[in-house]
Chains A and B, each alone.
Chain A
Amino acid sequence: MGDVILENLCAATEDHAVAATEADAVDRMPARWVAWPGTTEQTAAVMRVATHHDLAVVVRGSGTKLTWGARPERVDLVLDTSRMDKVVEHAAGDLIVVVGAGRRLDDLQGDLAGSGQRLGVDPARRGTVGGLVATAATGPSRLLHGPVRDLLIGVTVVRADGVVAHAGGKVVKNVAGYDVGKLLTGSFGTLGVITQAAFRLHPLPAARSWVSVPLSRPDGVPNSVPAGTCAPVNVQALVQQVVHSQLVPAAVELDRPPSGGVTLCLLLEGIPPGVEGRTTAALDLLGAGATARDDPPDWWGAEPFRRGEALLKVTHEIAGLAHLLTALDDVCASTGLASHLRGSVAVGAVTVGLAGIRDPADSDDPAVVHALVRCVASLRERAPAFGGTVVVLEAPGDLKDDLDVWGPVGGLELMRAVKRRFDPERRLAPGRFVGGI
């Protein structure tokens, strides 16, 4: 039977299918086959094979975010998009690009830079364009350009049943029909296989300036609620001043390691005289100790995460920042964990790395695992205070089996209904998404 399936997959992909190896496991769930369709039509053929043989399918780009979400219940086939990596159309004059889902984001940015343009996203994990959309990955410049959903103007998708559909188009302004592209954005490959995407582009800025201010933090017990300029209320007060200012920052990032220096950093972009003026104004606003550079701090846009630790995505109301920081400190103090928060505090979307205090490498220690589970639960209990949500992106060992990585979800019944319509057989990444979708 297995031979027949592989034969069919090869027939669908011009011989781009093989038996899976250990390296193809999805979040340690072993796969049986891997197929690399080169076109939308081949992708449709692969999905028809999957339907015929009742295969569970997980879509993979370059695999940078494949561990995000819950572990799929079943992985028969890994559908790899990396052969669909062509720029289909770059209309520089119209500031749009149509690109295969398998193109790497860094490669795409390179293509666009030649025309003085960029796709306005800068997630920590670059990966492919398809993975960017499927996970709604976010980075600092989202403050200026909006999340990837706002930049996606058209999409080609292969449904679970192998039907090819398009939504949107390649013009920036378009309200014809439902915005299926937005529904697919952040759907983690559970509604369809994105094979092509069209994006709105932005010009590259002529000048950039990073203005940072260190907020002193007393040495001592990590995550003890600090006093002074880095006290939660003071951090929030400073962020509020930035938010309500006329600096129009392209990004506002806070870096808050478990001990040592807390830093608030603004990115200013535009024309040289404008950026110069706003840099001066930002230095004034941020006060003593603020410095400006024309390159980013080394932590800029990176995740506060090392293998073996846990990584959370936490959202908050912009004015709920102090509540979030306090909750994090309290929860870490009571669970004996150290937290490293970093992210877009003027958007209200940050990442939090969690590790054991003494030795991060001991995260397989049952006590640490237990502490992480309690920490996530306690943070969620406090979430109403900061008005956001807590999602576990990465967790060490089998920790994901012990907790609901997505947490409570509003509108879950509607989401389930959407899933039932798009993928009634639960063929696509079963169990990976919210509420067991």
Chain B
Amino acid sequence: MDARGLADQLRPILGEDAIITDHQRLRTYECDGLAHYKVIPALVVLVETTAHVAAVVRACAAAKVPFVARGSGTGLSGGALPHADGVLIVMSRMREILEIDRASQRAVVEPGVVNLQLTQAAQPQGYYYAPDPSSQQVCSIGGNVAENSGGAHCLKYGFTTGHVTGLELVTPGGEVVQIGGKAVDAPGYDLLGALVGSEGTLGIATKVTVRLTRTPEAVRTLLAAFSHTDQAGAAVSAVIGAGVIPAAIEMMDALAIEAAEAAVHCDYPDGAGAVLIVELDGPAAEVAHQFDQVEEFCRDNGAFEIRVAADDAERALFWKGRKSAFAAVGRISPDYIVQDGVIPRTALPEVLRRIAAISAEAGVRVANVFHAGDGNLHPLVLFDDAVPGEAERAEQVSGAIVDLCIEYGGSITGEHGVGFDKARYMPRMFTDDDLDTMQLVRCAFDPSSISNPGKVFPTPRLCGEVPGRHKGAHPLTDAGIAEVF
């Protein structure tokens, strides 16, 4: 049976309006936040319950039809790119906050719940959900779990993986399994650690138990303008070197500032070659003391203007420029590629100079926005697809930046995920043995490779039969490793 054939089978279970087979409507789902990859799925299902998800996955497993789970579709690596012969399982109707348990500092949510809505729901009780990707107004918790999303504040608070204590999982075989819960350290392998960030390749989360974080007593934010990114980079080093861990330190270069100004009129200081946004939070006395230190470090390193947010509205304005930076680049360039590489933070000035050199040599503009505290770069490579050859040149520059990150001992992705887009870069960062080892995990969860196939790994592998315990055969053959194609 193919995916379209599954529609008839699933209609009685999910209901007529939950099954989409019409070509025009299917096209609505052809891409996620990385819109230049488009694949029209064979079938879209809109699920509302765990039982729905399990029924769909079981049907897929029986028919060996691939499936892809999709949350809000904001991912930037093509992680929710549909499979042409597969079923796209849309999770956004599962959007109930099931429980806010203040006493145990946990919330239990359905995967379609929007990130910011959880924070809004917890705020009246003095709590919030710490991971805050820039897309938090629309992105879903389920998507965050799949991608191990970060955000500006993960410098201090860590990524999604540090905030998930339990999952209800529909395995690629269609079984519903409870992993972890409100308590920490469930005995056994850390399956949560494997699942969070596995980009939908190990199954589908249908309930998520997350930590809630106490709203800090004080939050203070400043914006410092420098004439050059080197100075801003030095200020960041001084802050971190002094043992201060800000909630966030964000940097934008001149081109990114120009774009943000054009788009959202954030009114950053004139003539800035770089701006830093530094946010401190925590106990009031500590924040006050460290805030003074940060101001001093900025001045010492050449900040020509420092603005301190007087209230939440002003803080929001500082952040507005930063959080809208990706979209804003659309104002100064018809097309762009967002990179997500990571470098050791101390290499920042050097890497920025080399990015500038690559950009100049190729004649391709690069705007830089990044989480400076943890070395997570978001270079925006600008091009015009209408001009022949520009897209290719931009792609080359983008690839060269990835290589640069690897050369400095960094990573090809800090928070956007590998997805479809960066799978081809994985062998630059990992050996065949490394990738093979990761795929052992994949084979344990999904021996048929039907859960979001074609993502994360550049070369899929057959998993082979699950080996029994017998002697004689080579263990590689036993484990299915020898069947790599």
Given A136-B185, A244-B214, is A169 in contact with B103 using a C-beta cutoff of 8 Å?
no
How far apart are B341's CB and chain A's nearest CB, in angstroms? 10
Question: Which partner residue on chain B sits nearest A157 by CB separation?
Answer: B437
Q: Please tell me which one of the listed residues A157, A187, A278, A316 contacts residue B283 in the complex, with CB atoms under 8 A apart.
A: A278
Interface stretch, picked from B27-35, B316-324, B469-477, is B469-477
**CB-contacts of A322-340 with B (<8 A):** none
CB of B187 within 8 A of CB of A409, answer yes
Residues of B within 8 A of A248 (CB): 214, 282-283
CA–CA, A391 to B183, complex, Å?
Answer: 14
Range for the number of chain B residues in contact with chain A? 35 or more
Question: B429-457 toward A: CB 8 Å interface, digit per residue (1/0)?
Answer: 11101111110111111000000000010
From the candidates B106, B154, B189, B243, name the one contacting A173 in the complex (CB within 8 A). B154
Residue contact B413 to A174, C-beta cutoff 8 Å? yes
In this assembly, does A290 line the interface, its C-beta being within 8 Å of a C-beta of chain B? no
* B105 touching A177, Cβ below 8 Å: no
Q: Which residues of B contact A174 (CB under 8 A)?
A: 342, 410-411, 413-414
B479 at the interface (CB under 8 A from A): yes
Number of A-B contacts (CB under 8 A): 287
Provide the B141-170 mask, 1 if CB < 8 A to any CB of A, else 0.
000000110100010001101100000010
Q: Which chain B positions have C-beta within 8 A of A415?
A: 188-189, 191
Residues in A168-222 with C-beta less than 8 Å from chain B: 169-183, 185-187, 191, 202-204, 206
Structural contact, B438 and A146, CB atoms closer than 8 A: no
Nearest chain B CB to A362's CB is how many angstroms away? 29
The size class of the interface chain A forms with chain B is: 35 or more
B333 in the interface (beta carbon within 8 A): no
| B177 near A410: Cβ-Cβ < 8 Å | yes
Evaluate whether A421 and B475 lie within 8 angstroms (CB atoms) in the complex, with A93-B346, A409-B188 already known: no
Distance of A347 from chain B, by nearest CB (Å): 6
Pick the residue among B169, B240, B456 that contacts A177 (CB under 8 A): B456
B237 nearest in chain A by CB position: A93
Whether A315 pairs with B343 at a CB distance below 8 angstroms is no
A-facing residues in B344-370 (Cβ within 8 Å)? 344-346
Q: How far is the CB of A341 from chain B (nearest CB, A)?
A: 15
Contacts of B177 in A (CB 8 A): 410-411, 413-414
Do A163 and B179 form a contact, CB below 8 Å, given A147-B184, A179-B194, A274-B283? no
Report 28 cross-chain contacts, Cβ distance below 8 Å, ordered by A residue.
A54-B471, A93-B344, A93-B346, A96-B344, A171-B343, A171-B410, A173-B414, A175-B415, A175-B417, A177-B434, A177-B456, A178-B194, A180-B438, A182-B193, A185-B193, A191-B189, A202-B245, A244-B126, A246-B216, A315-B186, A387-B181, A388-B183, A391-B187, A409-B186, A411-B188, A413-B177, A415-B191, A433-B188
Give the 8 A-B residue pairs with the shortest CB-CB distance, closest first: A182-B193, A203-B243, A319-B103, A274-B286, A165-B437, A174-B411, A417-B444, A93-B346
Interface positions of B (Cβ within 8 A of A): 101-106, 126, 147-148, 150, 154, 158-159, 161-162, 169, 171, 177-194, 196-198, 214, 216-217, 237, 240-241, 243, 245, 282-283, 285-286, 289-290, 342-346, 371, 374-376, 409-418, 422, 426, 429-431, 433-438, 440-445, 456, 466-467, 469, 471, 475-476, 478-481
Which residues of A approach B to under 8 Å, CB–CB?
51, 54, 91, 93-96, 116, 136, 138, 146-147, 149-150, 157, 159-161, 163-167, 169-183, 185-187, 191, 202-204, 206, 240, 243-244, 246-248, 270-271, 273-274, 277-278, 313, 315-320, 347-349, 387-389, 391, 406-407, 409-415, 417-418, 420-422, 424-426, 433-435
